[in-house]
Amino acid sequence: MNWNTIEGNWKQFKGKVQAQWGELTGDHLETIAGKRDELSGKIQETYGVSKDEAEAQIKRFEEELHHE
């Protein structure tokens, strides 16, 4: 699954994002609004990880969605 699909259907995917990154709040999810860069930044900020690690987590998330 590519990020364009996630962004275009953000309301459907917010719950899955929240399940994956449970420390992200509803306000965070509203701010992210399906934007990959915003999600990456919030993961970095909330979990204290590097940009590369945040991107790797998002990539794994996309791959998991693809296999559902």
From first to last of its 68 residues, the chain has per-residue pLDDT tens of 788 889 999 999 999 999 999 999 999 999 999 999 999 999 999 999 999 999 999 999 999 988 87
d(Cα 12, Cα 51) in Å, to the nearest integer?
Answer: 25
Q: What is the pLDDT of residue 27?
A: 95
- φ/ψ bin of 52: left (φ > 0), alpha (ψ from -120 to 50), beta (otherwise): alpha
Domain 3-66: CATH superfamily, name plus number: YjbJ (1.10.1470.10)
Q: What is the pLDDT of residue 66?
A: 83
